Structure 1
Amino acid sequence: MSLSRRQVAGAAFAAAVPLTFGTAQAGEQRARTLFIAGDSTAAQKYADAAPETGWGMAIPFFLRKGLVVSNHAVNGRSSKSFVDEGRLEVILGAIRPGDLLVIQFAHNDEKTTDAVRYTEPWSTYQDYLRLYIEGARARGARPVLATAVERRRFDAAGNAQPSHGDYPAAMRALAEEERVSLLDVQALSLQLWQSLGVEETKKYFNWTDVEQDNTHFNPPGAIEVARLVARELLRTRVLSPRDLRRLDEAIPESWITWPEAV
């Protein structure tokens, strides 16, 4: 996905200062942390990018106290470029036994003309994902693979269309091979867009008077994708019911905030 000037600026700040949400109370044992490694669909956004919203900004609303979120997702990164820029190394330097690492890439891995980001789904994509899996496991943390959330794409008959080629299938196969829990966000988001339809889905993406964006979300879209992620964390038993809340409750858009970049 191409980056605007504001997205590049936001990404640079996000890379330097990943935001962490939720804290343990004084005297409590260290809270478990859910780390997110991913691209712009999950990333923290800042005031200059509003109303664009990554699902990682909304996932804390579905988690109970004692489980914090450290969102390292950054605009424009692939599984390869995230590693090559040292971003995985930063996570592995902070992750601790009992923590979780949710890994979602594909949007930028698909860029065949960009050698910095491109990976081939059945070889280099899986090879890079193994670095995340092995790195987390070596530190006593639990890796979790998440297929890439779908874009808003419909055919002439109004049917939601997949856009990620072989990448979701390659991740599913790797999850089975490595015995890693899989959050099938791609399949679930495609079903959601199909159920909403061509016009209603516009209310979930970053459609404004000046921009018609079929990849990135606004607050309602980010909240609903985060809900899919939370439900998958429960379904796969990565988290238990006591770790989660509000799975069936409406989340006010006003809960989403965009801090100023500094």
Structure 2
Amino acid sequence: MKYLIILLLITTASFAQKTTVYTIGDSTMANKKDPDKNPEHGWAQVLQPFFKENIAIENKAVNGRSTKSFINEKRWDSVYKKLKKGDYVFIEFGHNDEKIEDSTRYTNPHTSYRYNLIRFVKQTREKGATPILLTSIARRNFNEKGVLVPTHGEYPLETRLVAQEYKVPFIDLEYYTELLEQSYGPEKSKQLHLHFKAGENPYYDKDKADDTHLSLKGATSIAQIVINQIRLLEDTSIEKLKKSIK
């Protein structure tokens, strides 16, 4: 009995020492079903192996969500209630905030989107946790001249402005994923996404040409970019996180 109590105390202490990184966003981050078979991966889905055991990744990103629907569906509330001092929240939205034909998701970048980001930042800090803002990843959108054309409008700009105004640790993921896409070029960059002929992959029975969502290669490459940028951030609030990178 005595040894059981000691073991329970050790286990509880180990658990209590863990820092949680919550990731909130859309399908470009989210966990996918059947990861052993499904070619699609979110970059936060593959983030855990980059950290030591004292960091726990809680990927709360969900396919198809904007800042608006994430809040309205109480998904942010579920994260906020669990946040504790010393935790981190990675915030990357934009892809679905752009959906102007959908009133349940669309946000004006200069008003609702901006203030939703500010809400995430302020409420994260209320709990003694640290927000990290990230711009949306770039789409593979090359024109006929081989130029990568941006698709996110004013949303990345607003993310940059909120980060600057509220002194939030910031990763310009749009920029770094643009560099990634360009380094692969118009054809090879298909490897970062989901491009399959019918029957080429058992998961797809029809042709697949998806330039937004990520293959395992693409997700892992972007997770590595995030890790590299965390290492370079000069902000005392993320020192614990930096030291926890393998």
**Cα distance in 2 between the residues matched to 1:171 and 1:153:** 21
Unpaired segments of 5 or more residues in structure 1?
1-24, 246-262
Q: Give the drift of 1:30.
A: 2.3
User: For the residues of structure 2 that align with 1:206 and 1:217, how far apart are their CA atoms?
Assistant: 6
- Aligned counterparts of 2:39 and 2:226: Cα–Cα separation in 1: 21
Structure with larger Rg? 2
Aligned to 1:39: 26
Are the aligned partners of 1:161 and 1:190 in contact in 2 as well (CA < 8 Å)? no
Aligned to 1:251: none
Q: Identify, as 1 or 2, the structure richer in helix.
A: 2
Aligned to 1:94: 82
Q: What whole-Å deviation, never above 9, does each CA across 1:214-257 have from its counterpart, x for those lacking one?
A: 00001000000111111122221435543112xxxxxxxxxxxx
Q: Number of aligned pairs? A: 221
Q: Which residue of 2 aligns with 1:181?
A: 169
What's 1:216 paired with? 213
Aligned to 1:108: 96
Name the TM-score, length of structure 2 as normaliser.
0.86
**Which residue of structure 2 aligns with residue 8 of structure 1?**
none
* Pair 1:227 & 2:215 matched: no
Partner of 2:46: 58
Indicate conservation of the 8 Å contact 2:21/2:55, yes or no. Answer: yes
Write the letter of the residue equivalent to 1:220.
K
RMSD between aligned residues? 1.5
Shift of 1:117: 0.5
| CA distance in structure 2 between the partners assigned to 1:163 and 1:228 by the alignment | 20
- Which blocks of at least 5 consecutive residues in structure 2 are unaligned? 1-9, 198-206
Show the counterpart of 1:242.
Answer: 243
SS at match of 2:62: coil
1:25-78: CA deviation from partner (whole Å, max 9, x where unpaired): 834342001000100000000118811100011111211220110000000000
Q: Aligned partners of 1:161, 1:225: CA distance in 2, in Å? A: 19
1:1-262 correspondence to structure 2 within 5 Å = 26=11, 27-28=13-14, 29-47=16-34, 50-209=38-197, 210-237=207-234, 238-239=238-239, 241-245=242-246
Identity %: 33
Counterpart amino acid of residue 244 in structure 1:
I
- Does the 8 Å CA contact 2:230/2:242 hold for their aligned counterparts? no
Q: What is the TM-score of this pair, normalised by structure 1?
A: 0.81
